Structure 1
Amino acid sequence: MVKIMTGGCQCRRVRYSVRIDSDEAYLCHCAMCRHATGGASIAFVSVVLDGVAWQGEPAWYRSSPIAERPFCAACGTPLGFRFAENAERMDLTLGSFDDPHGFRPVHNYATESILPAWQDTSHLPGLRSDENASVVDRWMKSVGKLPE
């Protein structure tokens, strides 16, 4: 399964196309990824580094002595992770893909740092965005429709 997929940041200033050779993704639970993304964990898709083509170059920051992370300097969207030296692959954030539905989680990484209460939330009640009257009202007044 080799295909080209696209993605990018929230404001669309930074875009990418990438060669995907697998439908596998994983969750990283390390404290550095939690701090970098603001989440309880982050879902990543591992890709071949030379298979990524950027349209609108991301900003990069050295997040540790061994790694760096691309992000959009305009909107702040975290876009991935790569080792700073001798990297052949990098990880792209699952949420930055235009259509992440085809990926499937295959493992957890940095399990020593898992936040147990956030590992399985399937038992919690759910609320759709279009059921939140305040949010619907704000979108309708602002742009006349709900976001996709």
Structure 2
Amino acid sequence: MAKRKRFNIENLYPKDYFFDYAEFMKDPENYQFTEADYAYHNAMELKRYEEEVPMTYYEKTLLRKWVMDGHNPRENPGSKYLCMTGSEPMDFLDVYRLDKEIEQEMKGMTKAQKEVYLKGLMGWTDEDESPSPIDLLPDGSEEFDIF
């Protein structure tokens, strides 16, 4: 059986990578970052992230694959279950852990129960918008409060 190759952050960006700081300083507003610039930045961000955030071996493997695909570790991948638009920013591991937690909660639920559960998480209500019988006058018209 072949031995697995050990992960090396330096393999995520070109060996001869060098940021052209002089070129950047000529016109910072219009500087065009290269793929190598992004790869280097993501690799260094991954290194810092792994030092700061405790994670399991499996989570670390998933995170590294995410970065190898060209993403930043602090980038939001989008949840399998929830709409993340307008929420506070969440990074890759936060979203992954949230999805796993939701999967655990929904284990054993029917499809209908899962739908109700997920709608509840998102604040969705299926309340009928028609007026209740209490709000109707004896003739069937709606009651209005006039001040």
Normalising by structure 2, report the TM-score.
Answer: 0.19
Q: Which has the higher strand share?
A: 1
Normalising by structure 1, report the TM-score.
Answer: 0.19
Q: Larger Cα Rg: Structure 1 or Structure 2? A: 2
